[in-house]
Amino acid sequence: MEFVEVREGLAKILVPKAERIYDAPVFYNPVMALNRDISVLAVGVLTPRTVLDALSATGIRGIRYTLETPAEEVWLNDINPDAFNLILENVRLNLGVDGERIGEKRFSFGEEKRVVANLDDANRLMAEKFRYFDFLDLDPFGSPLEFLDTALRSVRRRGILAVTATDTGVLCGAYRHACRRKYLAEPIRGELCHEAGLRILIGTVVRYAAKYDLGVEVLLAYYRDHYFRAFLRLKSGAKKADGSIEGLGYLWQDENGRFEYENSFLPRKPGSYGPLWLGPLKSQGFVDDMLKLAWEHPLAHKKTLPFLETLAGELDTPFHYDTHALARRNNLQVGKLAEIIEILRDKGYSATRTHFSPMALKTDAPFEEVLEALKAL
């Protein structure tokens, strides 16, 4: 295997040379530097003691947690022996110390800041480390669902679960049967598919967590570059779980683009999409703290800061209006987004851009008012 050295954040890592990222024997995607930047900021704000990077590949994520956050004990795991050997190499390169073998497939590095590299199926490691991690990161190929149950047992009862899902085709309705099978939910197609997909993912975690009497608080959830990411704080207790279940519900949309949603355990009308999470997609205090940290932290991706600013400024209300889709559905001309937002604000409504689409807005104005604003231009 030939390697090249890559710098990201405060880390330098060796990655395999390859024509395309999916051909490489160990996976590294530079586009995901934004995902890792945001994760580093999240860990920086939350200050967990123990962290697991359960699906580590080159080790870049766990190494960045080690170098760029106050975390005291960071575990890096992968099932692929090539990945494990590269993790060992990359940890050595960044910490400047040799590892000590502490198990058949496990090495420990450092003392005050401890790094453990492990070669195993993530589900086996998480089953072994019951209620151990303060922050547990699942960053798989595709869906995180095959790891979700063990992750909920391995994270502490008031810990944080961070999940990535790259199976957007499933969650956004291109593969409807796969969505029913994996997420037990009906996905929607069209302009709401990304927000609905993110909310189906969160809704599924809420249902999985509830059986362990765990509630879920969404610290931050977003869609970007064809993946979903959510930082979820667990809350211990049956009442907390019941409260989170109450945040579930269903979505409807008609051919003009008008949508409705309702909190309910069962769908009350035919043609509904879900179940999905209808609660907040962020804790404003958490995002503001991340933004503050972002201004002083050396970030790897130039889009991380503007993206966080969009997230911080976004109205946190379920679903949005895509002005192009709305114009097409209602035979209207598309006006400038900034002007449509201005018209709604002048009428006393809240309205903001949304990270889900550069053509879309979030507002508390009723559908008719949004159409009026489009017609006014």
Q: Least distance from C-beta 3 to ligand SAM, angstroms?
A: 15
- Per-residue binding letters, 1-40, with ligand SAM (x by CB under 6 A): --------------------------xx---x---x----
Contacting residue, 8, 37, 73, 78, with ligand SAM by CB under 6 A: 78
Site stretch for ligand SAM (CB under 6 A), options 52-60, 183-191, 227-235, 274-282: 52-60
Site stretch for ligand SAM (CB under 6 A), options 49-57, 299-307, 337-345, 357-365: 49-57
- When asked if residue 89 is in the footprint of ligand SAM (CB under 6 A), the reply is no
Closer CB to ligand SAM, 119 or 337, in the complex: 119
Q: Least distance from C-beta 207 to ligand SAM, angstroms?
A: 22
- When asked if residue 265 is in the footprint of ligand SAM (CB under 6 A), the reply is no
Contacting residue, 3, 80, 246, 309, with ligand SAM by CB under 6 A: 80
Closer CB to ligand SAM, 154 or 244, in the complex: 154
- When asked if residue 94 is in the footprint of ligand SAM (CB under 6 A), the reply is no
- When asked if residue 224 is in the footprint of ligand SAM (CB under 6 A), the reply is no
Closer CB to ligand SAM, 55 or 241, in the complex: 55
Closer CB to ligand SAM, 36 or 199, in the complex: 36
Tell me the two tokens of residue 162. 């961070």
Contacting residue, 9, 44, 56, 66, with ligand SAM by CB under 6 A: 56
Residue 322, number of CB atoms within 10 A of its CB: 21
Q: What is the 3-state secondary structure (H, E, C) of the chain?
A: CCEEEEEECCEEEEEECCCCHHHCCCCCCHHHHHHHHHHHHHHHHHCCCEEEECCCCCCHHHHHHHHHCCCCEEEEEECCHHHHHHHHHHHHHHHCCCCEEEECCEEEECCCCEEEEEECCHHHHHHHCCCCEEEEEECCCCCCHHHHHHHHHHEEEEEEEEEEECCHHHHCCCCHHHHHHHHCCECCCCCCHHHHHHHHHHHHHHHHHHCCCEEEEEEEEEEECCEEEEEEEEEECHHHHHHHHCCEEEEEECCCCCEEEEECCCCCCCCCEEEEECCCCECHHHHHHHHHHHHHCCCCCCCHHHHHHHHHHCCCCCCCEEHHHHHHHCCCCCCCHHHHHHHHHHCCCCEEEECCEEEEEEECCCHHHHHHHHHCC
Query: Interface residues for ligand SAM in 297-336 (CB under 6 A)?
Result: none
Q: Least distance from C-beta 1 to ligand SAM, angstroms?
A: 14
Contacting residue, 83, 185, 360, 374, with ligand SAM by CB under 6 A: 83
Query: Interface residues for ligand SAM in 113-152 (CB under 6 A)?
Result: 121-122, 139-141
Q: Which residue ranges make up the site for ligand SAM (CB under 6 A)?
A: 27-28, 32, 36, 55-58, 60-61, 77-80, 83, 121-122, 139-141
